[in-house]
Amino acid sequence: IALQIADVDNGVLIVLAFSSMGVYGVALAGWSSNNKYSLMGGLRSSAQLISYELAMGIAIVGVLMATGSLRLSDVVAHQIEHGWNALYQLPGFLIFLTAAFAETNRMPFDLPEAEAELVAGYHTEYSGLRFSMFYMAEYANMVTASALAVTLYLGGYHVPWLARLGLPETAAAIVQVLAFCAKVALFLFVYVWVRWTVPRFRYDQLMNLGWKGLLPIGLAHILWVSFLVLMRWA
């Protein structure tokens, strides 16, 4: 069953393109507040988003190399046939997960709104509906990142051994939809669990992790996936 409205040829690129547009909103929100703390929060958030978008894109390159397509449906179909990407591309999966935390400004990457330094970050001067729109966008970004992670690395709606049960087509479709929602809920639980567990990074640690940690590991991961594809193991 297809869970997307339109199965476009460049589905992965379109999702990444729309998610990267959030940088403009954050930067303009901080700048237009006419507040130095908001401006600093906006600049911090912009630098953080740009840095970790690069790591996220490199992690996704491995998935696209193994799949040979930019269609989200082809990514899921490849995992149904060869196994979930999280098993064969664990470093890329961990890089994507870490970058997703940074992209959504969740702990321990919520430096743009560090209360001890920047009051409330780029939305210091916003209240009421405007403030709620920022928070709603943040949580919507969490759901989107979780759904993308499930699609790219956990087989999307795929349930192993479901075909062996011999369920009717309608019942099997319902099980697949529930499985997809359960996987997304698992990622959302991880967001909450990490927020309660891991302390906030310093800003220099945040940038060093992105440029000196995730980026080299991501490049090495691409070489690993290239080897798997060459040997026809992926």
pLDDT tens per residue, range 175-189 = 888 999 999 999 999
Tokens linked to 199: 């302390």
Q: Say yes or no to pLDDT of 92 above 80.
A: yes
pLDDT tier for residue 203 given thresholds of 50, 70 and 90: confident
Could you say which DSSP state residue 112 is in? G
Q: Say yes or no to pLDDT of 192 above 80.
A: yes
Encoded amino acid at 165, one letter: L
- What's the total number of domains in the chain? 1
Find the domain containing 171 and state its range.
11-230
Please report the pLDDT score of residue 3 as a whole number: 67
Please report the pLDDT score of residue 119 as a whole number: 58
* 4 inside domain: no
pLDDT tier for residue 27 given thresholds of 50, 70 and 90: confident
* 6 inside domain: no
pLDDT tier for residue 117 given thresholds of 50, 70 and 90: low
What whole-number distance in Å separates Cα of residue 56 and Cα of residue 76?
Answer: 19
Backbone angles phi, psi at 126, to 5 degrees: -105, 145
* 36 inside domain: yes
Q: How deeply is 121 buried, as exposed, middle or buried, from its count of CB atoms within 10 A (0-12, 13-18, 19+)?
A: buried
* 3 inside domain: no
Share of the chain above pLDDT 90, in %: 16
What whole-number distance in Å separates Cα of residue 179 and Cα of residue 171?
Answer: 12
What's the Rg (C-alpha) of the chain?
A: 19
* 2 inside domain: no
Please report the pLDDT score of residue 115 as a whole number: 56
Higher pLDDT, 166 or 157: 157
Q: Say yes or no to pLDDT of 234 above 60.
A: no
What whole-number distance in Å separates Cα of residue 230 and Cα of residue 56?
Answer: 23
Encoded amino acid at 49, one letter: L
